[in-house]
Amino acid sequence: MGATAEEGRNSGANVIVATRGGTNSLHGTVFYYNRNTVYNANEWFNNLSGQPRPDLKLNQYGFDVGGPLVKNKTFFFGSFQNNLIKQTEPIAATGVGVFSAPGVYTALARSGMFRFVRGCINLVNGTCSTADPNNITRNSPRLVDASGNLLPGVAVCNGTTTGNCVDSYNIFANDPSGVGADASVIALINQTPLPNRRAEHRRIHLESAIQVHRPPLHGPRGPYLRPQRQCVRSLAAKHL
């Protein structure tokens, strides 16, 4: 299970220590980390080919603060972290996908039909061939034509159909992972008592994490620079 927002959505080990109560004095920390292209050494292969260092600018800052809301009774703890990242990334020139340069879509693409076929394909023997959806070497029988229509002699599968047929599957009505949880496990979970909501010990915990990928900054010569923003917020309160 992935880490939640309070751990910064990282995949490493996390250690959390929760004390019984809070503190009647205000405590906190402030931090700032910076990475910049001018601090970094170039990669070996970039040096070999005479390429400059990849552009990387990272500003990571935030704070943690905790203290009392009501002396000896109610305490709070909150944290905030924001990452601003600008780095060069390879951008596909197809105009398709999140990390791609803007392109002009064809009429078929604007209608939702995406077909990428080169006009001529050079074969091993040097001849030129054009892709033909009706001329495909295959090991299994073909059930539909290039437009998705059933071929003659192919029917929709049912209880009495014999031979080649096409069936449909409702993923919402059927469990694709199997038969579900074991009945004995469900019965054991049902024996777990409800959470204890005693008045002398109540806790609230609010957290959020956002990640924003802004459109790349395009230049006439490239490479492309993609700004990113990652933000993690957490707030907890405890009443004794």
Q: What is the pLDDT of residues 164-207, one digit of tens each?
A: 666 665 555 555 554 555 666 666 666 655 543 333 344 455 55
Mean pLDDT for all residues in the chain: 67
Q: Which residue has the higher pLDDT, 139 or 36?
A: 36
Tokens describing residue 202: 């109540």
Average confidence (pLDDT) over 102-126: 64
61 vs 224, higher pLDDT: 61
Residue 99 has pLDDT above 50, yes or no: no
Is the per-residue pLDDT at 74 higher than 50?
Answer: yes
Q: pLDDT tens digits, residue range 143-171? A: 677 666 777 777 777 666 566 666 665 55
pLDDT of residue 79: 85
Report, as an integer, the average pLDDT of 20-32: 81
Question: What pLDDT does residue 32 have?
Answer: 93
Neighbours of 32 (CB within 10 A): 9
Work out the average pLDDT over 43-51: 86
Alpha-carbon gap, residue 134 to 154, rounded angstroms: 16
pLDDT at 57: 86
57 C-beta neighbours (distance < 10 Å), count: 15
Mean pLDDT over 133-138 rounds to: 58
What pLDDT does residue 221 have? 43
Please tell me the distance from the alpha carbon of residue 73 to that of residue 165, in angstroms, as a whole number. Answer: 70
Provide the pLDDT for residue 169: 57
Give the whole-angstrom CA distance, residue 53 versus residue 43.
Answer: 7
Residues 32-39 have a mean pLDDT of 90
Q: Which residues contact 150 (CB under 8 A, 6 or more apart)?
A: 143, 144, 156, 166
Q: Which two tokens stand for residue 134?
A: 């009706």
CB-based contact 157:146 (threshold 8 Å):
no
Looking at residue 222, its pLDDT comes to 47
Pair of tokens at residue 8: 């910064």
Q: How many CA atoms lie within 13 A of 83 on its CB side?
A: 17
Name the pLDDT band for 53 (thresholds 50, 70, 90): confident
- Over range 81-87, report the average pLDDT: 83
Residue range 75-79: average pLDDT? 83
Range name among 85-94, 95-104, 197-206 with the lowest pLDDT average: 197-206
